[in-house]
């Protein structure tokens, strides 16, 4: 079934938390590991507008269905960052504009040139680039959904669980859009399949790894995916990637566990 973009745009909404008792974090605070992981997640969610900057200079900007989605997606991810910040603030962890500025400024000149590089590459490829963008998005959303679900399981805190469930529900809709787009576009074009496979193999990294320091990436992976159950979950994500036309056997997420020393090669 194809994704109903009008229905998505009409029902896109901010995550509610005014009905939840956030003072419970005072009597039942989260673990240090969970807070470090939530900081990572919040930084990545808040960075969405910068990812969007790099995508709007590609052929994706010419597709109205894609741009309607990206508009709402950007807002929803922003709100995810907002509610995560609220939890962090309750624990005295610094958030807000200063933190966001610091994340952006440490990226340096490579980040400033990123839209130019991305625009050149993507426009040379043309329409087929959109399939890579959509496949990339589907994989990142599978990872985001999985990460929130893993965090729910490891902390088992009633209010955190409810907030993360609400976020994960929106991530499910992001998955649905990207996956249906990626599937359709990859099925239509063998060339698009080859380009996506090449790009994912060469350049994909776990969500957040292009903006967060390596020790933070390693901590997040170890906390959420260390151990046998974590590895099984990572393999479930890789199996979803396998089902995208022309993308079988990439083992993208498991390779990240090896890269960051969570499991042996």
Q: Which residues bind Fe ion (CB under 5 A)?
A: 45, 77, 80, 141, 144, 171, 174
Instruction: Using the minimum distance from each CB to Fe ion, give the nearer residue, 47 or 80.
Output: 80
The least distance separating Fe ion from the CB of residue 145, rounded to whole angstroms, comes to 8
What minimum distance in Å lies between the beta carbon of 209 and Fe ion? Answer: 16
Which CB sits closer to Fe ion, 138 or 199?
Answer: 138
Residues 6+ apart with CB under 8 A from 260: 206, 214, 217, 218, 221, 222
Give the nearer residue to Fe ion in terms of CB position, either 175 or 199. 175
Going by C-alpha positions, the residue among 174, 43, 192 that lies closest to residue 129 is: 192
CB of 190 to Fe ion, least distance (A): 29
CB of 216 to Fe ion, least distance (A): 17
Of 164, 147, 152, 159, residue with least CA distance to 29: 159
User: Residue 185 CB, nearest distance to Fe ion (Å)?
Assistant: 19
Instruction: Closer to Fe ion by CB, 143 or 186: give it.
Output: 143
**Closer by beta carbon to Fe ion, 47 or else 195:** 47
CA dihedral 88→139→76→168, nearest 10 degrees, is -60
Distance CA(181)–CA(2), nearest Å, equals 8
Minimum distance of Fe ion from residue 261's CB (angstroms): 26
Residue nearer to Fe ion on the CB measure, 141 or 256 = 141
**Could you count the other beta carbons within 10 Å of the beta carbon of residue 13?**
11
State the DSSP string of 121-186: HHHHHGGGHHHHHHHHHHHHHHHHHHHHHHHHHHH--HHHHHHHHHHHHHHHHHHHHHHHHHHHHH
* 65 neighbors 118 (Cβ within 8 angstroms): no
């Amino acid at each position: 079934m194809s994704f109903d973009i009008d229905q998505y745009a009409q029902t896109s909404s901010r995550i509610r938390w005014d009905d939840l008792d956030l003072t419970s974090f005072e009597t039942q605070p989260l673990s240090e590991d969970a807070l470090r992981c939530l900081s990572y997640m919040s930084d990545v969610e808040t960075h969405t507008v910068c990812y969007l900057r790099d995508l709007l200079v590609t052929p994706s900007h010419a597709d109205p269905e894609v741009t309607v989605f990206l508009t709402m997606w950007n807002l929803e991810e922003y709100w995810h960052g907002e509610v995560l910040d609220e939890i962090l603030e309750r624990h005295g962890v610094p958030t807000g504009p200063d933190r966001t500025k610091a994340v952006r400024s440490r990226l340096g000149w490579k980040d400033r040139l990123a839209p130019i590089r991305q625009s050149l590459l993507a426009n040379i490829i043309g329409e087929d680039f959109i399939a890579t963008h959509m496949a990339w998005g589907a994989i990142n959303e599978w990872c985001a959904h999985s990460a929130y679900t893993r965090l729910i399981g490891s902390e088992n805190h009633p209010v955190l669980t409810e907030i993360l469930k609400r976020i994960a529900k929106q991530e499910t809709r992001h998955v649905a859009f990207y996956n249906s787009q990626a599937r359709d576009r990859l099925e239509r074009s063998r060339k698009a399949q080859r380009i996506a496979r090449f790009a994912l193999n060469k350049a994909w990294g776990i969500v957040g790894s292009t903006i967060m320091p390596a020790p933070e990436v390693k901590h997040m992976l170890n906390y959420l995916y260390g151990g046998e159950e974590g590895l099984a979950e990572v393999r479930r994500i890789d199996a979803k990637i396998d089902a995208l036309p022309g993308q079988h056997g990439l083992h993208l997420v498991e390779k990240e566990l090896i890269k960051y020393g969570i499991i042996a090669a």
